[in-house]
Protein backbone atom coordinates (compact mmCIF):
# COMPACT_ATOMS: atom_id res chain seq x y z
CA UNK A 1 0.00 0.00 0.00
CA UNK A 2 1.05 3.54 -0.65
CA UNK A 3 2.20 5.58 2.37
CA UNK A 4 -0.30 8.34 1.55
CA UNK A 5 -3.20 5.88 1.69
CA UNK A 6 -2.03 4.62 5.08
CA UNK A 7 -1.72 8.20 6.33
CA UNK A 8 -5.27 9.00 5.17
CA UNK A 9 -6.60 5.91 6.95
CA UNK A 10 -4.68 6.95 10.05
CA UNK A 11 -6.14 10.43 9.77
CA UNK A 12 -9.68 9.05 9.53
CA UNK A 13 -9.16 6.92 12.62
CA UNK A 14 -7.55 9.79 14.55
CA UNK A 15 -10.46 12.09 13.70
CA UNK A 16 -12.98 9.43 14.76
CA UNK A 17 -11.22 8.78 18.06
CA UNK A 18 -10.75 12.51 18.71
CA UNK A 19 -14.40 13.34 18.10
CA UNK A 20 -15.45 10.33 20.16
CA UNK A 21 -13.36 11.58 23.10
CA UNK A 22 -14.90 15.03 22.75
CA UNK A 23 -18.39 13.53 22.76
CA UNK A 24 -17.50 11.48 25.86
CA UNK A 25 -16.55 14.73 27.58
CA UNK A 26 -20.27 15.57 27.57
CA UNK A 27 -22.26 14.04 30.40
CA UNK A 28 -25.16 12.92 28.19
CA UNK A 29 -23.02 10.88 25.81
CA UNK A 30 -20.81 9.52 28.59
CA UNK A 31 -23.78 8.17 30.55
CA UNK A 32 -25.37 6.62 27.46
CA UNK A 33 -22.27 4.50 26.89
CA UNK A 34 -20.72 3.82 30.28
CA UNK A 35 -23.69 4.20 32.68
CA UNK A 36 -21.34 5.26 35.49
CA UNK A 37 -21.06 8.56 37.36
CA UNK A 38 -19.44 11.37 35.42
CA UNK A 39 -16.51 13.12 37.09
CA UNK A 40 -14.51 16.27 36.37
CA UNK A 41 -11.13 14.51 35.91
CA UNK A 42 -12.70 12.32 33.21
CA UNK A 43 -14.12 15.42 31.53
CA UNK A 44 -10.69 17.05 31.43
CA UNK A 45 -9.00 13.85 30.26
CA UNK A 46 -11.45 13.30 27.40
CA UNK A 47 -11.27 16.94 26.28
CA UNK A 48 -7.47 17.05 26.26
CA UNK A 49 -7.23 13.67 24.54
CA UNK A 50 -9.89 14.61 21.97
CA UNK A 51 -8.26 17.89 21.00
CA UNK A 52 -4.82 16.27 20.91
CA UNK A 53 -6.03 13.56 18.54
CA UNK A 54 -7.71 16.14 16.30
CA UNK A 55 -4.53 18.22 16.15
CA UNK A 56 -2.52 15.11 15.34
CA UNK A 57 -4.94 14.22 12.55
CA UNK A 58 -4.65 17.76 11.17
CA UNK A 59 -0.87 17.40 11.18
CA UNK A 60 -1.19 14.15 9.22
CA UNK A 61 -3.34 15.84 6.55
CA UNK A 62 -1.00 18.80 6.27
CA UNK A 63 1.94 16.41 6.06
CA UNK A 64 0.33 14.55 3.12
CA UNK A 65 -1.01 17.46 1.06
CA UNK A 66 0.73 20.62 2.37
CA UNK A 67 -1.10 23.42 4.15
CA UNK A 68 -3.87 24.70 1.81
CA UNK A 69 -5.11 21.39 0.45
CA UNK A 70 -4.37 19.58 3.72
CA UNK A 71 -6.66 21.88 5.70
CA UNK A 72 -9.44 21.58 3.13
CA UNK A 73 -9.08 17.79 3.07
CA UNK A 74 -9.03 17.67 6.88
CA UNK A 75 -12.30 19.59 7.12
CA UNK A 76 -13.85 17.30 4.51
CA UNK A 77 -12.76 14.19 6.39
CA UNK A 78 -13.91 15.75 9.66
CA UNK A 79 -17.37 16.36 8.21
CA UNK A 80 -17.65 12.76 7.02
CA UNK A 81 -16.51 11.29 10.34
CA UNK A 82 -18.78 13.56 12.40
CA UNK A 83 -21.79 12.47 10.33
CA UNK A 84 -20.81 8.83 10.84
CA UNK A 85 -20.34 9.34 14.58
CA UNK A 86 -23.72 11.08 14.91
CA UNK A 87 -25.39 8.15 13.20
CA UNK A 88 -23.64 5.56 15.37
CA UNK A 89 -24.33 7.43 18.61
CA UNK A 90 -27.98 7.96 17.73
CA UNK A 91 -28.76 4.30 17.09
CA UNK A 92 -26.02 2.18 18.70
CA UNK A 93 -24.26 4.29 21.33
CA UNK A 94 -22.93 1.25 23.17
CA UNK A 95 -20.97 0.18 20.08
CA UNK A 96 -18.70 3.22 20.25
CA UNK A 97 -16.78 1.83 23.21
CA UNK A 98 -15.86 -1.36 21.32
CA UNK A 99 -15.35 0.43 18.03
CA UNK A 100 -12.84 2.76 19.69
CA UNK A 101 -10.76 -0.17 20.91
CA UNK A 102 -10.79 -1.85 17.50
CA UNK A 103 -9.87 1.37 15.70
CA UNK A 104 -7.06 2.08 18.16
CA UNK A 105 -5.64 -1.37 17.40
CA UNK A 106 -5.90 -0.76 13.66
CA UNK A 107 -4.20 2.61 14.09
CA UNK A 108 -1.28 1.01 15.92
CA UNK A 109 -0.94 -1.57 13.12
CA UNK A 110 -1.04 1.15 10.43
CA UNK A 111 1.65 3.12 12.20
CA UNK A 112 3.76 0.00 12.48
CA UNK A 113 3.43 -0.55 8.73
CA UNK A 114 4.41 3.06 8.06
CA UNK A 115 7.51 2.76 10.22
CA UNK A 116 8.81 -0.36 8.51
Instruction: Report the predicted TM-score, pTM, of the whole model to 2 decimal places.
Output: 0.93
pLDDT at 1: 67
Q: Where are the domains of the chain?
A: 3-115
pLDDT at 7: 93
Determine the Cα–Cα distance for residues 90 and 30; give it in Å rounded to an integer: 13
pLDDT at 32: 87
pLDDT at 114: 87
List of the chain residues with pLDDT < 50: none
Determine the Cα–Cα distance for residues 38 and 15; give it in Å rounded to an integer: 24
Amino acid sequence: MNDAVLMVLSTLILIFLGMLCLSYSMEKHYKSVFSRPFSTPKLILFRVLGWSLLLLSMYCCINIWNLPIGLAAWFGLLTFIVALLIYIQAYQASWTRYLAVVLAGILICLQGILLF
